[in-house]
Amino acid sequence: MTLPDVLARIDADLPAATERLMDLLRIPSISTDPAFKADCQSAADWLVADLASLGIRASARPTPGHPMVVGHVDGPEGSPHVLFYGHYDVQPVDPLSLWHSDPFDPKVEDTPKGKVIRGRGASDDKGQLMTFIEACRAWTAVKGDLPCRITFLFEGEEESGSPSLIPFLQENADELRADVALICDTGLFQDRSPAIITMLRGMAREEVTIHAATRDLHSGMYGGPAMNPIRVLTRILGGLHDDQGRVVLPGFYDGVPELPDTIRAQWQNLAFDHGSFLGDVGLSHPAGESDRTPLEMIWSRPTAEINGIWGGYTGEGFKTVLPAEAHAKISFRLVGQQDAEAISRNFRDWINAQLPPDCTASFKEMGGAGASQMQIDHPLFEKTRHALTEEWGTPASYVGCGGSIPIAGYFQSILGMESILAGFGRDDDQIHSPNEKYDMECFHKGIRSWARVLEKLT
């Protein structure tokens, strides 16, 4: 009867758990601003002390940037070993004028949708991080120990590009390696259904400049005989997709897998409303590959998008010039085994092959990384999915993610382990924006969810 006792303990301790989260939220651990370096250290020290209060061996490890918090606790002989990852740093609060209250004076507020915890970091990622710690606290209080071996890794630079993360993982790989990683930095599907992200898209980025004349030209004197690089650039980029929405770059779909039937069936059962999805932003018709569903387009298919284009005169009034240069930024979201470097090379070759006389192209190195796909045959994946289903009363599904979460890829490539990405945020949490919040229901049920996951590991 251990689990019912643990869940009852969580329910009774929710006010104290909320106050502990408030204490952590009051620390302005903004990693990207050197003025808050001492606060990042304070947040790391707070977490070390909190873990130590549960009998967990913990320390704040120095890095060239902000500390890594590492903790260890032993489990019963033969029990699984999991690594739980979160980050204690937060985004800057600008523009401060748009906050309704001090972002580092958190409060519980009543809203039409229920109680929320308001403050910077409430959802991303301090509130989510604390759901796991509070689950461990309840297990320890009821049973005296934890049901499995756990390593804790809390980063202080996630919101500023994680410059210290890869070297730290490489230098401490033997200590940190586990059977599987748990990451709580994601959200519910359509704000109500638990989900485990198993597909993360990678990215390749390119900035291209088309060069023509040696200087800007008067359009009355040179318009007609002189080549306009904006005309060249828009013509080429306008042909990046065919009439069915497919990307035309040679070799672009190399390494793109088809969706497994089991995952496709789960996604179909999610009843994703693409009409509302697009309607919320004033659109109505899916513009990607015409033979794919909107969820496939977002989660499991690669994309090519023009993110910015400029050249010539763009200020107030009018200046009739033929510009000497035209520029664009293009990003490619990658899936499966697509090679970011190969796609960048193919894109450059494709541009150069279409240039008319008198035009050349130059490219700026912008970097990229491949996609990550979790191998869900590890038994802890299904155990976690069943635990989430039991808590939320809605079947948990394996889903994709249109964006990128680099840590999951690093755990694969450096530590050789898969990651279970399960979080409890909602789309309206306003992460990275003024008035960030975390629903009290998500905090409470998130703690209960991890308690159930831990029970499945016994």
pLDDT given for residue 365 in this prediction: 81
Tell me, yes or no, whether 27 and 76 share the same domain: yes
Calpha distance 437→108 (Å, rounded): 9
Tell me, yes or no, whether 331 and 430 share the same domain: no
Calpha distance 456→450 (Å, rounded): 10
Domain containing residue 80: CATH number: 3.40.630.10
Tell me, yes or no, whether 51 and 92 share the same domain: yes
Residue 175's contacts (CB-CB under 8 Å, 6 or more residues apart) are: 70, 151
pLDDT given for residue 249 in this prediction: 97
Task: Examine the fold and report which residue of 265, 284, 300 is the final residue of a domain before the chain moves on.
Answer: 300
Tell me, yes or no, whether 116 and 184 share the same domain: yes
Give residue 363's identity as a one-letter amino acid code: F
Nearest to 400 by CA among 308, 305, 292: 292
- Is the model's pTM score more than 0.95? no
Give 127-136 pLDDT, tens digit per residue.
999 999 999 9
Radius of gyration of the chain measured on its C-alpha atoms: 25
Give residue 396's identity as a one-letter amino acid code: A
Tell me, yes or no, whether 12 and 157 share the same domain: yes
Domain containing residue 246: CATH number: 3.30.70.360
Tell me, yes or no, whether 238 and 172 share the same domain: no
CA 268 → CA 265, 290, 292, 293, distances in Å? 5, 17, 12, 9
Tell me, yes or no, whether 66 and 119 share the same domain: yes
Tell me, yes or no, whether 126 and 237 share the same domain: no
Tell me, yes or no, whether 317 and 329 share the same domain: yes
My answer on whether omega of the bond before 125 falls inside 30° of 0, hence cis, is yes
Tell me, yes or no, whether 273 and 349 share the same domain: no
Structural domains in the chain (count) = 3
Tell me, yes or no, whether 295 and 308 share the same domain: no
Chain-centre distance of CA 34, in angstroms? 24
Tell me, yes or no, whether 306 and 434 share the same domain: no
- Find the angle CA(298)-CA(83)-CA(301) to the nearest 5 degrees: 15
Task: Examine the fold and report which residue of 334, 369, 404 is the final residue of a domain before the chain moves on.
Answer: 369
- Find the angle CA(83)-CA(437)-CA(389) to the nearest 5 degrees: 50
Per-residue DSSP letters for 423-449? --B-GGG-TTSTT-EEEHHHHHHHHHH
pLDDT given for residue 1 in this prediction: 66
CB 417 within 8 A of CB 179: yes
pLDDT given for residue 160 in this prediction: 94
Task: Examine the fold and report which residue of 350, 369, 388 is the final residue of a domain before the chain moves on.
Answer: 369
Give the chain's residues under pLDDT 50: none
Residue-number span of the structural domain to which 317 is assigned? 202-253+302-369
Backbone angles phi, psi at 227, to 5 degrees: -75, 135
Calpha distance 81→145 (Å, rounded): 15
Calpha distance 176→214 (Å, rounded): 56
Calpha distance 207→327 (Å, rounded): 7
